[in-house]
Amino acid sequence: MDFESLVKKYQDNTATDDEIVFVEDTVNKARKIAKTRLKGDKHVTFLNRVKKFFIKLMVVLLLLASVTVYLYFNISGYAKENMVTGRSSADETVIDFLATDLGVKTSQAEITAYKRKLIICIPFERSYYLYEYTVKLNNRQYYVSLDSYSGLIEYIDY
C-alpha cells in the first residue's frame, strides 16, 4: 500500500495499529524536517552567506600564508647552512675574478649593485643563495653571479 491510502485509512479510523504508528512516525519526521529547514532558511540571508564566504576565504588565505612563511624560513635556513661563501668574501672573489679575467687591477673595479636570491631545490636541504653583482670596471658594467654553495662564478647576460 502507498502512503496516501494509509492516510485515508488513518483519517477514516479503519487503519490497524501498525499502520497508525507508521503514519504518525512519518508525519512527525516530516514536521521535524520542515522545522529545521524553516529555521535554517530564516537565518540564512544573502549577507550572512557573503560573510561566511569571506570568513572561509580569509581562513584559507591565512593558512596559505602561514605555510608559505614556514616554508620560506625553513628553506632559507637550509640555504644559510649550505653557504660556503659569505657576502664579504663573495665581494672579494667576484672582483678578483673580473680583474684576473680581464687583466686589470682590482682597485679599478667597483660593485654598483648586489642581489641575493634564494634558489629553492628539491629536496629543500639542497637550497642555496645566489649572489648577483653589477660591477663597474673601465667604464663598463659587468653582470656576474656567484653560487654561495659551490663558489661557481658566471657572467650573466641581460
* 57 bridge partner residues: none
Euclidean distance between CA atoms 142 and 115, whole angstroms: 14
Regions of the chain with pLDDT less than 70: 1, 37-44, 157-158
CA distances to 3, 12, 79, 87, 108 from 140, rounded to whole Å, are 93, 106, 32, 23, 11
- Count of CB atoms situated within 10 Å of the CB of 135: 21
Helical spans, DSSP H, in the chain: 3-11, 17-43, 46-81, 87-102
What's residue 65's pLDDT?
96
What's residue 42's pLDDT?
56
Residue 128 is classified by DSSP as E
What's residue 37's pLDDT?
65
What's residue 43's pLDDT?
61
What's residue 73's pLDDT?
92
Cell numbers of 137, please?
670596471
